[in-house]
């Protein structure tokens, strides 16, 4: 539909919206906010850090043809045993599509086995013997890479970073669910009522 075909009321709304948008997006304000985004945005900063650290770890896992996500999946399945894929996705904070995309090559290469769960729709993952051997081979590489990163960052910065990172997921989940946050930013734990 072209603007000329719109009813006069609709055209008025478009004019009001356009005028309002242009008034609130003054060039100096846009520049100031853009500079703040570049310097302070939690989302952008965490994504940049995630991409950088993923490249570092995945270069180390390249001889095993493993991504960082696949390594995390192997570790989680080893720790949790036979685990429903939906619960695995929750624990790894992955959407199901990303989890399935990462799991497929592990199943194809026979490192994971997908089995029926307790319901008709549920599927569970379990580590195969080949997957256990792969994990045994990859863990010393992880230990070396982890040591290099922590050593380069420094123990105090590492302690501060891990403390902050442990708060990110619960804080975001609380914000998404509307759970009240304590003044520290951490989710408040409500006392259970009898």
Q: Phi and psi (nearest 5°) for 120? A: -65, -30
CA distance 56 to 78: 23
Listed residue (129, 116, 131) closest to 85, CA to CA = 116
Which residues on adjacent β-strands are paired with residue 83?
125
Is 15 within the bounds of a domain?
no
Which residue's structure tokens are 């040591």? 147
| pLDDT for position 183 | 62
Is 121 within the bounds of a domain?
yes
Is 14 within the bounds of a domain?
no
Stretch (H or E) spanning 93: none
Is 193 within the bounds of a domain?
no
Listed residue (66, 78, 59, 134) closest to 105, CA to CA = 66
CATH number of the structural domain spanning residue 161: 1.10.10.10
Please, what is the Cα angle at 109 between 107 and 113, to 5 degrees? Answer: 30
Which residues on adjacent β-strands are paired with residue 127?
112
Find all residues with CB under 8 Å of 63, minimum gap 6, and list them: none
| pLDDT for position 132 | 97
| pLDDT for position 180 | 82
Find all residues with CB under 8 Å of 94, minimum gap 6, and list them: 69, 102
Is 30 within the bounds of a domain?
no
Tens digit of pLDDT per residue, the chain (194 long)?
A: 444 444 445 445 445 444 455 556 677 888 898 898 889 999 999 999 999 999 999 999 999 999 999 999 999 999 999 999 999 999 999 998 999 999 999 999 999 999 998 887 889 999 999 999 999 999 999 999 999 999 999 999 999 999 999 999 899 989 988 888 776 666 655 544 43
pTM, rounded to two decimals = 0.76
Give the domain range for residue 162. 42-172
Going from the C-alpha of 128 to that of each of 73, 74, 99, the distances in angstroms are 13, 10, 18
- b/e for 11-36, b at 16 or more Cβ within 10 A? eeeeeeeeeeeeeeeeeeeeeeeeee
Is 54 within the bounds of a domain?
yes
Is 12 within the bounds of a domain?
no
Domain count, the chain: 1
The Cβ-side half-sphere exposure at 6, using a 13 Å CA radius, reads 10
CA distance 87 to 95: 11
């Amino acid at each position: 539909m072209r603007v000329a075909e719109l009813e006069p009321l609709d055209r008025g709304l478009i004019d009001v919206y356009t005028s309002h948008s242009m008034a609130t997006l003054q060039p100096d304000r846009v520049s100031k906010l853009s500079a703040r985004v570049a310097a302070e945005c939690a989302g952008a900063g965490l994504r940049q850090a995630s991409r950088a650290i993923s490249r570092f770890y995945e270069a180390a896992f390249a001889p095993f043809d493993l991504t960082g996500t696949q390594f995390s999946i192997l570790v989680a399945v080893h720790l949790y045993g036979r685990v429903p894929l939906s619960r695995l996705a929750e624990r790894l904070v992955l959407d199901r599509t990303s989890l399935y995309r990462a799991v497929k090559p592990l199943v194809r290469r026979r490192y994971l086995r997908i089995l029926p769960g307790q319901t008709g729709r549920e599927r569970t993952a379990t580590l195969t013997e080949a997957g256990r051997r792969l994990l045994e081979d990859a863990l010393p590489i992880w230990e070396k890479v982890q040591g290099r990163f922590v050593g380069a960052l420094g123990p105090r910065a590492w302690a501060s970073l891990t403390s902050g990172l442990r708060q990110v997921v619960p804080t975001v989940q609380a914000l998404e669910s509307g759970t009240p946050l304590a003044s520290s930013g951490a989710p408040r734990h409500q006392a259970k009522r009898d």
